[in-house]
Amino acid sequence: MAGEKIVGVAVDFSSCSRKALKWAADNIIRDGDHLVLVIVQPEGYYEDGEMQLWEVTGSPMIPLSEFSDPVTMKKYGLKPDPETLDLLNTVAHQKEIVVVLKIYWGDPREKICEAIDKIPLSCLVIGNRGLGKVKRAIMGSVSNYVVNNGSCPITVVKQSDHEQ
């Protein structure tokens, strides 16, 4: 893949992850690149669906056409929002890029760092929820952890105060 990057974007279908995705599309992704959306679901007991099969290693790479299918996403316990799907389809078409989704289950901090190494990603873009100091101290900041422990260049796209 000479000259092609594998750009990762951590996505949870929130407004801050959409902002990170849009920022990556506008500033990093070029024609011919690969875009890998990294999603981390909480661990839990799942009676059926694809989650049981892939809980340890993460899902296989899911192409955008399947990611856009509600029936397929229900198997993984996901419900992508229309705004994110529209953005992805537009970027894929305009820049002629390959868009795939990789789902992990567990602690987002650890799983995003795992994705960086296992996929492997050229770079990662992640949104920042803008937690206050108290919440960040209690819950921990995923973006801060990934910046300090990830093994590729990482860009944090901050949520401004009026966007929260």
1 is a domain residue: no
| pLDDT higher than 60, residue 69 | yes
Q: Where are the alpha helices (DSSP H) in 96-154?
A: 108-118, 133-139, 142-149
39 is a domain residue: yes
147 is a domain residue: yes
Give the confidence band of 44 by pLDDT, cuts at 50, 70, 90.
low
Domain count, the chain: 1
Most confident of 39-43, 105-109, 110-114: 110-114
Q: How far is residue 150's CA from residue 144's CA, in Å, rounded to a whole number?
A: 10
CB 142, CB 131: distance < 8 Å: no
Q: Is the pTM of this model over 0.75?
A: yes
40 is a domain residue: yes
CB 12, CB 38: distance < 8 Å: no
Which CATH number is 126's domain given? 3.40.50.620
106 is a domain residue: yes
Interhelix angle for 82-95 vs 15-27, to 10°? 10
43 is a domain residue: yes
Q: How far is residue 115's CA from residue 38's CA, in Å, rounded to a whole number?
A: 7
Higher pLDDT, 3 or 70: 70
127 forms bridges with which residues in the sheet?
A: 157
Q: How far is residue 145's CA from residue 157's CA, in Å, rounded to a whole number?
A: 15
Give the confidence band of 134 by pLDDT, cuts at 50, 70, 90.
low
Q: Which of 2, 94, 79, 90 is nearest to 39 (CA)?
A: 79
Mean pLDDT of 91-113: 94
Q: Which domain holds residue 67?
A: 6-163
pLDDT of residue 117: 96
Q: How distant, in Å, are the alpha carbons of 59, 71, 80, 87, 139 from that of 104?
A: 7, 19, 15, 22, 20
